[in-house]
Amino acid sequence: MADFSDKDHRELIDAINQKMPFGKFAGTALLDLPEPYIVWFKGQGFPAGRLGRQMALVYEIKLNGLESTFRPMLRDQNTE
């Protein structure tokens, strides 16, 4: 079994909670983006840098049908 560090856990939590900073879904948590939108980015190329890495991680989550596993980790939208 792979070793999952606290840093990895924080990065995962940050990725699924990251808000899309631009476009039609600006302000939406990456985990809440529609799957076709993420798949489109996969085909076109994710943005460079941290956002692109986070979107690639969310793509893998969606590809593997794990959204319901990670949904409880979304931060409360009303407290931000």
Please compute the mean of the pLDDT values over residues 2-10 and round it to a whole number. 80
Whether 41 and 14 have beta carbons less than 8 Å apart is answered as no
Q: What is the pLDDT of residue 79?
A: 43
Residue 9 pLDDT class (50, 70, 90 cuts): confident
Q: Distance between CA atoms of 68 and 47, rounded to whole angstroms?
A: 25
pTM here is 0.86
DSSP letter for each residue of 37-79:
HHHHHHHH-PPSHHHHHHHHHHHHHHHTT-HHHHGGGSPPGGG
Q: What is the pLDDT of residue 35?
A: 95
